[in-house]
Amino acid sequence: METDKSLKLIKPQKVVKISFNKLLFIDQELYDNIDALPNILKYRIYIMKVREFWKNYVPLTAQIPLWYPRYSKQTNLLLDCQLKNIHFSHLPCNTLESNKKYICGCQCPYCSEFDEDFKMITCINNTVLNIKDIPCTESKWNNDGVFNPLYDLANYKRLIDYEPLYFSSIWSQL
């Protein structure tokens, strides 16, 4: 009779009830050998194995969540966006390469390919000719997080175009 390697020797199993609905299947021979040991030795083996288990166990609350690597990558991308002065819509997660267009002040690789004359003409067209369309900002950084090199020019034009401000107080009448 030939021995078939696909057939495995199945040892008898002992079913041990751990808790209300948890069952543990243990090799019958191993269970009998452990059961034959003195109680003090069984307790020491138990304590040793429990300690070994807790050394290697990492609870779910201590594990790094699945979404964290993508969150970290996105956070680094937004930080680079601010540090390198890249427009938010020119990030790889926001715009396809074919849909990008030049934005004044953006320092991304796409916008850096344009020559200086084109950049200056575009900036002048965007700021001086369409000065009313530019949102008023409190600093040299516009609402999109991009540095506006012509901020002073645009704000001086607004100051000249508006009416003068008059203040009335008791001290000015003296």
Range of the domain at 106: 97-163
46 and 102 fall within a common domain: no
What local confidence, expressed as pLDDT, does residue 151 receive?
63
The tens digit of pLDDT for each residue in 39-77 reads 999 999 999 999 998 998 888 888 888 999 999 999 998
Q: Looking at per-residue confidence, does 107 or 148 come out higher?
A: 107
Residue 85 lies in a domain: no
Q: Are 118 and 124 in contact (CB under 8 A)?
A: no
What local confidence, expressed as pLDDT, does residue 167 receive?
66
Residue 147 lies in a domain: yes
Residue 86 lies in a domain: no
Residue 80: half-sphere exposure toward Cβ, Cα within 13 Å: 12
The tens digit of pLDDT for each residue in 111-157 reads 888 888 888 888 777 766 555 554 555 566 666 656 666 566 656 66
Domain count, the chain: 2
- The pTM of this model reads 0.42
Closest CA to 111 of 120, 125, 100, 121: 100
Residue 73 lies in a domain: no
